[in-house]
Each structure stands twice: as C-alpha cells, then as structure tokens.
Amino acid sequence: MLMNPDLEQAQHKFQKGVASGTSQEGPVERGVVDGNLEFQLITDFTGFEALESEWCNLFERAGGSHQLFQSYNWCWHWCQTYLNAEKKRNPIKLSIVVGRVDDLPVMIWPLITDRSMGVRYACWMGMPVSQYSDVLVEQGPNQMAWLIEGWQFICSRLSADLICLPKVRGDSALSGLLRRLSLEPVQQNEAPYADLSKLNSYEEYASRFSARLRKNRRRQHRRLSEQGEVSVEILTDGKEACAVVDQAIEMKCRWLQNQGLVSKAFADDRIDQFFSRLLTTPDRDAGCQVSVLKVGKDIAAVMIGILCKGRYATHICAYNPDPQFVRSGAGSLLMDATVQTCLNNGLSNFDMMAPGDAYKYEWADATVMVNDYSVPLTPRGRAFAVFGACTYSAKAAFETTPQRLRRFLLAIAGPRR
C-alpha cells in the first residue's frame, strides 16, 4: 500500500510537518502538515460538542445531500445512543480527524476506534444506523491532496490494525481517494434512486410505469379500500411518531424472522432509542420523517425517511405482515404516495439506498454503487480482514439457502432481540 507514489509523497509531508509541529496530551492532539494543513484528533464527546458550529458550517458549505449521515445532529444522536453504551471493558472511542487551514476546518473524518477479538480497528461514526459513509471536505483543487494527507494521518496516528470503510458511495468524496489508492472493495452493492429534478408532476413520473403496473396499483388500492378508509399521513407529533416507529421496528423484526434473515441493526434494541431521540429532540433536527399508511385504524405500512438538501432517503420501510395487508400491496402504495409527496414538495432525489432489492427498481431510474472496504495495516489486521471476508461470503451463502432452512437455523440459534 505504501508503494503508491501519492501515499509516499503524503507520508513525507506528514513526517516533515510533525517534526516541526506541536502536540499536546489529552483528548485533542495536533500536528502540522506542510505548514498549511493542521490536523486535530478529537477523542471524547466534549471535544465533539465543541466542534458543533464548525462542523455545521462545513456541512452547509461543502456537504452534499448524499452525506446526510454525516450531519452533526445525526452524529450527535448516534453518540447519545451508541457511544460506550453497555461496553465498559473496551469502550468505543471517538477518533474524529479534523483538517484545518488557517484555523478554518476544511475536512472532517467522522471516525471511531473499537476493538474486536483483540484487533483494534477504525470505522465510521454512525454504524449500524448510518447507510452511507463519507468524509466532509471542501471542494476545490486541494481536495485530493487533503484527503491523501488525512489518510496518512489516520494510518499513522490511530494505532489501528485495520480500517473498515463500509457503505461508501461511488460518487462520494472518499471514493476518489480509494480509487487513487487502488483499493478494491470487499463487497459491492447498488443503491437505486429516482431522479426527480427534471419532473414537473407526479403524472409525468408515473408515466414511466407500464399500463399493467398502473392497473395493478389501482386494483391494490381498491382491495385495501374494501377493508376500511385508506389514508396516508406524515406524522408531526414526536410522541405519536415514536409510537408508530416502535410498531414499525416490531413489524420489520417479524418480517426478518419470517424470511429467516439477520440484521445487526435490528438485533440491537438501541435502534428504538435512536429514532426516539431523533423524533423528540427538535433542537437536534436530523431530518427524520415518519409516514404511515392506515386502513381504518390499523397501520398497514410505515416509512421512516431522512430529508437532506433536496434528498429523501427511505431508511426503514416496514409492512404489516398480516396477510390482508401483504396481499393488498400496502407497502407499494405507501412508497408511491411518498414519491408523490416528494415531487409536490420540490425534492430532487428519491433515494431507496442499498441493497438493490428487486422491488426498488420499480420506482428507480438510476443506481449508484455502494461499496465496503477493509484496509489492513498490520499482520493482525490482515488476518482479521480475511476472517471478515469469510464472514461476508458465509452471510451471502446463508441468504441464498431456502427460506425454511434459514428459519430453522435461526430458531436453533435463539432470538436476536
């Protein structure tokens, strides 16, 4: 890895800068690179909170809508929910790298360091609830140079055996650096989305559907209407939204169980706490929105979305597993209604995120690659990376086995929540 010329040059600059720079003990460490770019390493929550104004300003200036999970408020809620919770022996440690030029932040790597099976690794803040990972960095001619120097700082200062970079979009700021370093992803996926920016109406969007599909949607709506009044509502009351989210997560867990599938995020009870904080802390707004489709008084489908700079991202889609709602396509109808709401509100991107499940392509007209990377820095890290690759392969193989077998094996393993 260090034979790459760009990395060798950046490493030389880093060593030269540290030799002439200063450092201090405690939660904030500093080192000057090339006389202009100064790095700051934030390792505790107090330091993170002190960054709020600068982080928000950088996000406003340079953050793209696809970086919705790198907003300060989203990361704040993650810290409140997941940082060090129930982990006393080897606590998660914030390792946020800030790059400054003339005291102005131009780059933020929102990272944490953790330990598993004796291996110390660096990963993104926000896992497992964040769906995209990236670096906040100013655009311009210096962007790649800053990213290279930031990468070298991370490799040199975090004392990690392994750097894990899951869920990196192909159009992210970081993806250019990873291609420059000739790093290959350990897993690839797609995030389908609909580009709404050039559409003037929902009718124009719906015209892409086949006549057969439009007819099927009308038939589904009639079938639901026979069971009661069909309504779609965006919830604005925090407590009401939290109650619906609790039901949505329960529905999702039931669906996973019925399918014989495992989700790390939903196996952890803290996901309920995370969304409760998002919805009941108005001064820490992270764009969370809850939509619900009801048939009479019964909840048939719920969508939890995140709004950011003209993008709507479908974070959780949950459907009532009762047969009458499944057969009536309640989830599809809510998805359709949500697209219509996005168009009415002038949003430009309806993002269904990874993985690229088949049903998502009905609403999508484009995709973007979403890749996982694993970069070992030590022999121990390389061994762990091999183990991780085997785990990926085993999970993929498990998901291709018959549904009944998956359910049987998971029943033997015991409940996940």
The residue that leads in pLDDT, 351 or 3, is 351
Tens digit of each residue's pLDDT (9 = 90 or more) over 70-109? 999 999 999 999 986 555 555 789 999 999 999 999 999 9
Tens digit of each residue's pLDDT (9 = 90 or more) over 112-145? 999 988 889 999 999 999 999 999 999 999 999 9
Q: Are 42 and 154 in contact (CB under 8 A)?
A: no
Percent of the chain with pLDDT over 70: 82
Reported as a pLDDT band with limits 50, 70 and 90, residue 189 is very high
Q: Other C-beta atoms within 10 Å of 216: how many?
A: 14
Reported as a pLDDT band with limits 50, 70 and 90, residue 1 is very low
Q: What one-character DSSP code corresponds to residue 133?
A: B
Tens digit of each residue's pLDDT (9 = 90 or more) over 42-79? 999 999 999 999 999 999 999 999 999 999 999 999 99
pLDDT mean across residues, the chain: 84
Domain segments of the chain as ranges: 5-189+370-413, 198-347
Does the pLDDT of residue 291 top 90, yes or no? Answer: yes
Q: What is the mean pLDDT of residues 246-268?
A: 83
Q: Which CATH architecture group holds 5-189+370-413?
A: 3-Layer(aba) Sandwich (3.40)
Question: Residue 397's pLDDT is what?
Answer: 52
User: What are the distances in angstroms from CA 122 to CA 109, 115, 165?
Assistant: 11, 9, 8
Q: Which stretch, 3-7, 10-14, 262-266, has highest mean pLDDT?
A: 262-266
CA–CA dist 308, 66 (Å, integer)? 8
Name the token pair of 233: 């509502």
Question: Residue 10's pLDDT is what?
Answer: 34
Does the pLDDT of residue 378 top 60, yes or no? Answer: yes
Indicate the pTM of the whole model: 0.85
Question: Residue 114's pLDDT is what?
Answer: 92
- Residues in the chain, overall count: 417
CA–CA dist 61, 41 (Å, integer)? 22
Residue 164 pairs in a beta bridge with 374
- Residue-wise DSSP of 302-351: EEEEEEETTEEEEEEEEE--SHHHHTTTHHHHHHHHHHHHHHHTT--EEE
Say yes or no: do domains 5-189+370-413 and 198-347 share a fold: yes
CA–CA dist 89, 46 (Å, integer)? 21
Query: Minimal CA–CA distance to 315: which of 360, 285, 354, 267?
Result: 354
CATH superfamily of 198-347: Gcn5-related N-acetyltransferase (GNAT) (3.40.630.30)
Tens digit of each residue's pLDDT (9 = 90 or more) over 198-208? 898 989 998 88
